[in-house]
Copies of this chain bind each other. A is one copy, B any other.
């Protein structure tokens, strides 16, 4: 926390009145300095203290975003894009003040091309909204972080979710972006072609840049045909090792599972209480299989066999769509269910990801580290990718707990880095993983990132103070 407070205290300066005046004239009631509005845009799902922007602008289209950028550039005032506020890493906090530009009203589905398996949406469209629009087309968009996040936010964070083991993350599924640059120009980073070797991969450079290089206004994503058959299964284990080894072997033999999720007994217990599920309160794996009817059966049989060899019990099938919906809704609510264990708490979530063969060492190692915690903890995650989240439920007003959990978090990250893993699989660096990023990629790697930032945003107005210090 010290770093961000330092930034807050050092760099924050009042909003220039001339800028406020210009924005008020241009945007009328869509420009706000009301405390409640600022407060709402100064917090997210992270455990970090709120840092409200000086003002909020609600943009309706790309041209408006570009206007706001040009004005902020003139006055060298920070600009933070805001979707629904579901960052887990403080990416939205206005640690250097400035303008929060709310794009949630830019929620138009621009084009759906079922014949090409692509869709183009404005940045404020959420993943559920997109899938609702696709409902009758026989195709779907697979990326599903826990929250019903905006596509803009998901692209900015390089988000993934439960389907990534089969369908990839936003890295693989964003085909092109419309971006407002730090100069207020509007560019298209790519086309709707499935592959391209046309110069630097600007799309992949912007995906995961957390608002620090430009503001996304439109996102073009890949879509997939609904599988002919879908089947889901739940299996529980007495030992964590049995569950994790089931996952490792499933991935290693190349079974194309669509989803493969780990929930420890604490998470299952929280879900039973919050989501009214009746799962056996033990270490549990959720699987989903997509394919032809016979393909799904083959995959499921192989996984069941692997699970049994590793001590899996009570293999249960969810073949009806409504049962599967209940299962995955419960999974998506797991973080919020855990927060209910301790009223008033905030969740610190680790996000390490390791090569699959190291998953057991990494996850069981994390469990041992968590065993020393004085606060409630749990582990869950997208283990098919080698990615899991250790959740530590802290009292945000207790600095000792925060410090203790930061130490444990650091140990878990160090363990993953020692296994050629990453400190973040899908949540991003945001405010508080800057040191981990340096440990992971080295000072020279961070220096390259800093130079790219400097080249594309020389005035440092784009979400400053995130990913690295400039």
Contacts and interface: CB of A to CB of B under 8 A. Distances in A.
Interface stretch (A204-212, A257-265, A365-373): A204-212
B193 A200 contact: no
Contacts of A468: 199
Interface in A200-238: 200-202, 204-205, 207-209, 213, 224-225, 227
A205 B437 CA distance: 17
A454 B428 CA distance: 27
Nearest to A89: B197
Interface in A415-429: 417, 420-429
A353 interface: yes
Contacts of A442: 187-188
Nearest to A298: B292
Contacts of A385: 193-195
Given A185-B444, A441-B198, A442-B188, A193 B294 contact: no
A456 B445 contact: no
Contacts of A118: 355
Interface in A356-402: 356-358, 385-387
A456 B353 CA distance: 28
Contact of A423 (B189, B198, B292, B446): B198
A207 B207 CA distance: 15
A188 to B, nearest CB: 7
A158 interface: yes
Nearest to A164: B195
Interface stretch (A4-12, A26-34, A71-79, A167-175): A167-175
A22 interface: no
A193 B295 contact: no
A254 to B, nearest CB: 3
A194 B353 contact: yes
Which among A158, A252, A440, A448 has the highest number of chain B CB atoms within 10 Å?
Answer: A448
A351 B158 CA distance: 29
Interface in A422-470: 422-429, 433, 436-437, 440-442, 444-446, 448-449, 451-452, 454-456, 467-468
A135 to B, nearest CB: 17
Chain multiplicity (copies) = 2
Interface stretch (A109-117, A270-278, A281-289, A312-320): A109-117
Nearest to A430: B197
A200 B195 contact: no
A253 to B, nearest CB: 6
A329 interface: no
Contact of A193 (B159, B254, B422, B445): B422
Given A451-B456, A452-B455, A201 B208 contact: yes
Contact of A197 (B116, B158, B227, B455): B158
Given A116-B355, A298-B294, A357-B116, A191 B425 contact: no
A186 B172 CA distance: 27
A441 B197 contact: no
A451 B440 contact: no
A117 B357 CA distance: 9
A123 interface: no
A128 interface: no
B116 A196 contact: no
A455 B447 CA distance: 11
Contacts of A253: 225
Given A115-B357, A181-B444, A202-B449, 17 more contacts: A116-B355, A158-B195, A158-B201, A181-B448, A188-B441, A195-B422, A195-B426, A198-B422, A198-B441, A199-B208, A199-B437, A199-B441, A201-B201, A204-B205, A225-B252, A452-B452, A452-B456
26 contacts: A113-B357, A116-B355, A116-B357, A116-B358, A158-B195, A160-B195, A168-B172, A187-B442, A189-B445, A191-B420, A192-B355, A192-B421, A193-B354, A193-B420, A198-B422, A198-B436, A198-B441, A199-B449, A199-B467, A200-B205, A204-B204, A227-B254, A292-B298, A294-B295, A451-B455, A455-B455
